[in-house]
Amino acid sequence: MQHTPYQLTRYSHGAGCGCKISPAILSEILNHSQLDTANVDTALLVGNADRDDAAVYDLGDGSAVISTTDFFMPIVDDPVDFGRIAAVNALSDVYAMGGNPLVAIAILGWPVNELPAEAAGLVLRGAQLACSDAGIPLAGGHSIDSPEPIFGLAVTGRVRLEHLKRNGGARAGDVLYLTKPLGVGILTTAQKKGQLDPAHFDQARDTMIRLNRLGAVLGKEGYVHAMTDVTGFGLAGHLVELCHASGICARVHFDTLPVIAPAALMDYHQQGCVPGGTQRNFASYGHHLVVDEGYQRDLVCDPQTSGGLLIAVDPESTAAFEALCRTVGETPARIGLAEPCDGDKILVCVD
């Protein structure tokens, strides 16, 4: 665990993707915005109405541009770690669409009278590390003087149309996989309370700085029917979105969920280390869930920052899928199944 004099989390009221506006309020905002992207341009394949990970624009040559942006307030104290995590999180949207990133632009808000310029430079250094890992340039950006530190990227990517993956397209019978462990929200809340063991911090940081580049590999595979990344709305929220977009329901086997430091995570939860975003998430989509109260509910609703890919795979191709993942050093957890729906209210059951 790195020690830093800056303590960035002291300057933020939220942490990482946990500071996202809740799904319910976001829906209200979009409903009042009267944004209508459906009829703007027929080349716009994925827009605001789709609630997917990124916008997608058809270039007319068999490929499409992927465009996305993501930014948030510090989830860790170290500026380099903060910049790297925020950058990896933004890049994830492109990978979740089955594409490869091409270039990134930085978005920086900095309390210039509270934190030194050096710390902001270290945030950018962290972002450069992530972009270098992804093989793309961090080509510029925009900055403002803001009350809280804010950082993220606007990312442009590209994908062949036949490789484009959506959060819709899952079919009843598909096997559901998750590529990163859960628990980031609980652990970073424990950090803010001064209760986090340094070893558990390192585990959380290491998962957050790992690129979801697997998505670009899976984009080429027809047996991957749907894909999205798991961030601020938690596993349950993003699975609800996938189910809604696909017209299916899902059953998640709680004991199969990958978790960072499982025994410790339960202890932190019992100590009250639950992010405010967890309650906002459940209030927004809890009517679509069947889940036990307490730890089970709080884990599946735990807001993730730079979380893993949630993937729906044809049941006849799971062996091929798992073998392909191993070739690139990934071992996704099999967490449940897509099922036909009896109604439109309950979309996800956790047993």
Express the helix, strand and coil content of the chain in percent, nearest 5 each: 40, 25, 35
Q: Each residue of 264-318: pLDDT tens digit?
A: 999 999 999 999 999 999 999 999 999 999 999 999 999 999 999 999 999 999 9
Annotated catalytic residue 17: yes
pLDDT at 19: 61
pLDDT at 16: 47
User: Are β-strands 138-145 and 100-110 bridged in parallel, bridged antiparallel, or unpaired?
Assistant: parallel
pLDDT at 50: 72
Cβ atoms 134, 157 nearer than 8 A: no
Q: How far apart are the first and last CA of the chain?
A: 35
3 state SS of 135: coil
Confidence band (pLDDT; 50, 70, 90) for 17?
Answer: very low
Mean pLDDT (the chain, rounded): 92
Cβ atoms 45, 111 nearer than 8 A: no
Confidence band (pLDDT; 50, 70, 90) for 11?
Answer: confident
pLDDT at 145 over 70: yes
Q: What percent of the chain has a predicted confidence (pLDDT) above 70?
A: 91
3 state SS of 335: strand
User: Per mean pLDDT, which of 28-32, 35-39, 299-303 is the most reliable?
Assistant: 299-303
Q: Each residue of 213-244: pLDDT tens digit?
A: 999 999 999 999 999 999 999 999 999 999 99
Catalytic residue among 17, 19, 131, 243: 17
Residue 133's alpha-carbon distances to 71, 87, 181, 248, 345, in angstroms, are 19, 11, 21, 36, 42
Task: Round to whole Å and give the CA distance between 53 and 166.
Answer: 8
pTM of the model: 0.92
Q: Which of 234, 95, 209 is nearest to 155 (CA)?
A: 95
Q: Each residue of 63-119: pLDDT tens digit?
A: 999 999 999 999 999 999 999 999 999 999 999 999 999 999 999 999 999 999 999
Confidence band (pLDDT; 50, 70, 90) for 33?
Answer: low
Mark 170-193 as b/e (b = at least 16 C-beta within 10 Å). beeebbbbbbbbbbbbbbbbbbbe
